[in-house]
Amino acid sequence: MSNDRAYIHEFIDIRGAHRANYMHHMAANWSPMAQEDRGQSCFGIWAVVGTTGPWPQVCNIWEEPGLDGLARSLTGENVGQGLQDPKLERWWKEAAEFRRGGFDRVLLPAPWSPTLEDSLSTGIRAEVCTHEIIKVTPGTAREALEFVRSHAIEAYKPHGWTLAGAWWTTMRDEDEIVVLWALPEGYAAWSAGEHAQVSDPAVRRWRTEMRALATDWHRILLAAAPLCPWRTGRQPHRDDRIDWQDPS
């Protein structure tokens, strides 16, 4: 297995009580077009669990056909006077009613990090994920990912945590990694993993090894949106839409 994809990682700040509206708009009204026009897959759409992180906030991750595929997508998107694909004008206007801003990253995977298809083909489904952003000494991001592979995956397995993605953030000084864990057993698995941070020798070894590189470590919980592939086992499609038509 060798993952040659690129990923867009987004934290989206939501207006008021529009989190459900935004997640549906993103999944059902955006993703089917993006799949066809850009070759972009919906890796996941989640609500950030407010008890563990900022709220109201949504996390989106998109799986792209490599950096070259992402470049083609950006070429078609940033056009015209508004630097916006005219086909998406109506979509953007409605999205603006639900969100007020956000922050994106471009991620590249460790070669052994599973694609979405790799994971879903095993039958795994998870309504809850643990999401980690680990900042590391500049230049060591890919070394840090090797610690994930050599220590963390096996250490967390007995506690019900399955690796869903391991990436490093591009356009920085190789000083940040993002690690996503699927929790098929839900919040009980999260609790078990948190207890293990101090009680399980294998998990403690993983954390000790990573501290040689880590400068900051932030873990949050994500709850899968109704149309998130980790919940449904499939990509969003047009049949999921409610009162929405693509522009002709």
pLDDT in tens, 78-104: 666 666 667 778 888 999 999 999 999
* pLDDT higher than 90, residue 244: no
Choice between 20 and 82, residue whose per-residue pLDDT is larger: 20
In a 13 Å sphere around the CA of 169, the CA atoms on its Cβ side amount to: 19
* pLDDT higher than 50, residue 1: yes
Q: 3-state DSSP call for residue 78?
A: coil
Give the per-residue pLDDT at 91: 84
Separation between Cα atoms, residue 49 and residue 159, nearest integer Å: 20
**Which residues on adjacent β-strands are paired with residue 119?**
none
Q: What is the pTM of this model?
A: 0.95
pLDDT-wise least confident of 75-84, 162-171, 182-191, 236-245? 75-84
Cβ atoms 135, 214 nearer than 8 A: yes
Give the per-residue pLDDT at 193: 98
Choice between 143 and 1, residue whose per-residue pLDDT is larger: 143
Separation between Cα atoms, residue 219 and residue 207, nearest integer Å: 13
Q: What is the largest CA-CA distance in the chain?
A: 59
Give the per-residue pLDDT at 89: 81
Separation between Cα atoms, residue 107 and residue 7, nearest integer Å: 5
* pLDDT higher than 50, residue 127: yes
Give the per-residue pLDDT at 225: 98
* pLDDT higher than 50, residue 211: yes
Give the per-residue pLDDT at 76: 75
Separation between Cα atoms, residue 42 and residue 63, nearest integer Å: 6
Q: Which residues contact 133 (CB under 8 A, 6 or more apart)?
A: 176, 177, 178, 216, 217, 218
Separation between Cα atoms, residue 221 and residue 68, nearest integer Å: 31
In the chain, pLDDT over 90 holds for what percent of residues?
A: 88
Residue with tokens 């501290």: 211
Cβ atoms 221, 130 nearer than 8 A: yes
Residue 98 CB burial class (10 angstroms; 0-12, 13-18, ≥19): buried
Average pLDDT taken over every residue of the chain? 94
Q: 3-state DSSP call for residue 4?
A: coil
Q: Which residues contact 5 (CB under 8 A, 6 or more apart)?
A: 63, 64, 65, 66, 109, 115
Give the per-residue pLDDT at 248: 46
Separation between Cα atoms, residue 215 and residue 245, nearest integer Å: 47
